[in-house]
Amino acid sequence: MEQHDELLQQAMDAYGDYLVQLIYTYVHNWQTAEDLTQETFIRYYRSLSKFRHEASVKTYLYRIAINVTHDYLMSWKYKKVIVSELFQKWLKTAHTPELEVLYKDEQQELIYAIENLPTKYKDVIVLFHFAEFSLEESSEILKIPVNTVKTRLRRARQMLGQMLEEGELYERPHSKGNEGRL
C-alpha cells in the first residue's frame, strides 16, 4: 500500500497541473476541474494493482481523465449547472463591452473557440496539441482508430478556422463556471 501511495504522489506531482488544465477545457470551472482531477487520481490509485505498465503512466492517466470528464459531462449534475447558468445568462445581457474587448485578443478567441468545440473534436485537439500525444497515442486513449483521429483533427481545425473567421463566438457565449477565466 505504501508503494501505491508513493506512486500516486509521484503521479500527482508530475501530471496534476496538466490534468487540471486539460479538464478545465471541458468544464470551464477551476474548482470542478480540480475535483475531477482528484477523481482521476483516485481511480488511478484503485487500478494500480491492475495496471501492467503496457501504456505509460501519462497515457493511462489521460485516458482516465478523459473518461472521468466525459462521465461528468453526461451527468445530471453537470446538466443542472448548465441549465441554471443558461438561465442566468438569459437574464443578463450577453454582449458586454468588456467581453468584446477581450475577444479581440486573437489568442483568447482561439481558446474560446476550442472550448466551444463539440466534445469529440475537443478530445483530439487537447490530446494532440495540448498534451502533445501522437496520433497513435491519442487513438489509444480515445479507443478509436488512428484514421478517425486524423479525420476529427482535420475537421476540428476547420471548425476552429471557421469560427474565428466568422466571429461566431460573439453569437455563442459559452457557459462558464463561477470563477471563469475571463
Partner 1 sequence: MKDPIQKAMKDAYKEGTFSQTKKIETLQKVQRKQRTVWSFSLTVLTTCCVMLLLFFLVKDSPQITQTVSSKSRASIEHIYMERWQQFSAVVASDFEKQARIQYLSTSDWSLQQATLGEKDGRILAELLQHMTFIVGDASTQVIFPEITTFEQLTEQAPTLIKKLEKAYGARNVSKLGESQLPNMEIFYMDFWQIIGTLALYSAIMYFLYSNWRKKRNYYFAAFQVVVLLFMLYSFVKPPLMVVATDEEELLEQSLNSYKDFMGEWTDVSEAEIVKIEKYGNQLVVLIDAGDGICILSNFFYIKERRGYLRQSTIWGRDDVLKIPSSVAVYEGDSAGNIFALPANHNIERIEIENVVTKETVSLNISKNKEGVYYLAIPVNMQGDDGQFTIHYYDRQGNLLEDN
> And the C-alpha cell for 39?
477523481
Q: Which amino acid does the sequence have at 146? A: V
Nearest to 148, CA basis, from 112, 121, 166: 121
> And the C-alpha cell for 108?
483568447
In the complex, least distance from residue 91 CB atom to partner 1, rounded to whole angstroms: 27
In the complex, least distance from residue 19 CB atom to partner 1, rounded to whole angstroms: 7
Binding to partner 1 (CB under 8 A) within 121-140 occurs at 125-126, 129-130, 132
Mention every residue, 6+ apart, whose C-beta is less than 8 A from residue 159: 113, 117, 121
Nearest to 25, CA basis, from 107, 130, 102, 103: 130
Would you count residue 103 as binding partner 1 (CB under 8 A)?
A: no
Q: How far apart are the first and last CA of the chain?
A: 42
- Contact region for partner 1 (CB under 8 A) — 83-91, 95-103, 109-117, 166-174? 109-117
- Contact region for partner 1 (CB under 8 A) — 5-13, 57-65, 82-90, 141-149? 5-13
CA distance 41 to 19: 10
> Please, which residue, 140 or 153, has the CB nearer to partner 1?
153
Would you count residue 5 as binding partner 1 (CB under 8 A)?
A: yes
- Secondary structure letter of residue 173 according to DSSP: P
Would you count residue 74 as binding partner 1 (CB under 8 A)?
A: yes
By CB under 8 A, name the binding residues for partner 1. 1, 5, 8-9, 12-13, 16-17, 19-21, 24-25, 30, 33-34, 37-38, 41-42, 45-46, 74, 107-108, 110-111, 114, 125-126, 129-130, 132, 160, 181
